[in-house]
Amino acid sequence: MRAAVIREFNKDLSIETVADPACPETGVVLKVDACGVCRSDHHGWSGEHPRVKPGAILGHEYCGTVVETGRLAKYKVGDKLIAPFILACGSCQACKQGVSNTCPDQVAPGFTMPGAYAEYVAVPFDHNLVPLPDSLSPALAAGLGCRVTTSWHALTDRADVRAGEWVAIHGTGGIGLAAALLAKAIGAQVVVVDVVQEKLDHALSLGVDAAINGADGKAAEKIVELTGGGANVSVEALGIGATTNGSLECLAPLGRHIQVGMPVGKTARMEINMNAVYMKNLAMYGSRGMPTWKYASLLDLIERGKIDLKPMVAREIGLSGASTELHAMNGPTAPGTAVITDFSG
Ligand SMILES: [Zn+2]
Ligand SMILES: [Zn+2]
């Protein structure tokens, strides 16, 4: 099969013909219909992700069609499925308790095994997958495996956002924009922060209540002023120190900070304003992925037209186009994400 392979960190991916994946006993092989290019991929591509080494195939935001099934697979050949980036074992305590996103035996294609920047991907533990609704194109559905599900779980479960609350979102890349649209769908008031004006304008055009350019380092103060005392919930969607502190500092007393940006490599340990946490009695939540059982509530929201995912996808690209996207993530990027939908080269 054709695949985009990391041969050297920070260099163009190598488009190669590699061996087709072997079918796992507990899952399926998918013909990849679409795979999103995510900022988490940049961490792997740049060598900052501890599990991604040269020879790796990235790609964790995918959907596809079953072409082969293992002995214990739940699905059958021809099924069109969306895969979450966390594939949980299904039998441990975490999985049984409904928090499969914390499964200690999880695997994650694109990080711990070959991902979906390829024509085919092996997917063990296929009970994690859900059927692709007819109403969603593969390009839109691809993001459901990562940015949309992660945001949904962070807002509805970790921070328990309620209608009318002020939600601040720091960073309007894939995950930030998804969080903004979902928070609006929940009925919250939403203010987004970014340093790229075009992204702020894009978010405003999609219905967020306010947008603040954080380039001057004063986003937190401006949010406190705008909201009359601070946001109730604040989402950090980049995984870096400046926005994590902006998030803590923009909160009202008793506010909830949610870490959805991935702090890895240089930012894995960062200096944060613990005084703000202490003085304002803040709560800090980490949030990664989403338990599989929550797909139903998210897909219901989409099917009822409460959220339109189309504005999240800026462009559909070919396999060889992923390198350009990854290089671009060395700096601030334009609105929306790229999705690989052509795997011919
Ligand atoms: Zn992702
Ligand atoms: Zn498990």
pLDDT at position 345 over 90: no
Q: How far does residue 5's CA lie from ligand 2's centre (Å)?
A: 29
- Closest ligand by atom to 102 CA: 2
- In the predicted model, what is the mean pLDDT of residues 242-261? 97
| pTM score | 0.93
Mode of pairing for the β-strands spanning 80-82 and 2-5: unpaired
Q: What is the pLDDT of residues 155-204, one digit of tens each?
A: 999 999 999 999 999 999 989 999 999 999 999 999 999 999 999 999 99
Q: What is the pLDDT of residues 18-48, one digit of tens each?
A: 999 999 999 999 999 999 999 899 999 999 9
Angle between helices 197-205 and 174-186 (to 10 degrees): 30
Report the pLDDT value the prediction gives residue 223, as an integer from 0 to 100: 98
Which residues have their alpha-adjacent CB atom under 5 A from ion ligand 2?
88-89, 92, 95, 103, 105
Q: How far does residue 201's CA lie from ligand 2's centre (Å)?
A: 41
- Closest ligand by atom to 115 CA: 1
Q: What is the pLDDT of residues 45-76, one digit of tens each?
A: 999 998 999 999 999 999 999 999 999 999 99
Q: How far does residue 319's CA lie from ligand 2's centre (Å)?
A: 32
Which residues have their alpha-adjacent CB atom under 5 A from ion ligand 1?
38, 40, 61, 146
How many alpha carbons fall within 13 Å on the CB side of residue 177?
28
- Contact by Cβ (8 Å): 83, 128: yes
Q: How far does residue 144's CA lie from ligand 1's centre (Å)?
A: 9
- Closest ligand by atom to 107 CA: 2
Euclidean distance between CA atoms 30 and 120, whole angstroms: 6
Q: How far does residue 260's CA lie from ligand 2's centre (Å)?
A: 21
H-run or E-run covering 338: strand 337-342
- Closest ligand by atom to 61 CA: 1
- Closest ligand by atom to 291 CA: 2
Q: What is the pLDDT of residues 219-241, one digit of tens each?
A: 999 999 999 999 999 999 999 99
Q: How far does residue 3's CA lie from ligand 2's centre (Å)?
A: 29
Report the pLDDT value the prediction gives residue 156, as an integer from 0 to 100: 97
Q: What is the pLDDT of residues 83-97, one digit of tens each?
A: 999 999 999 999 999
pLDDT at position 266 over 90: no
Q: How far does residue 129's CA lie from ligand 2's centre (Å)?
A: 14
- In the predicted model, what is the mean pLDDT of residues 253-261? 97
pLDDT at position 143 over 90: no
Euclidean distance between CA atoms 110 and 101, whole angstroms: 16
Q: How far does residue 147's CA lie from ligand 1's centre (Å)?
A: 6
Q: How far does residue 140's CA lie from ligand 2's centre (Å)?
A: 28
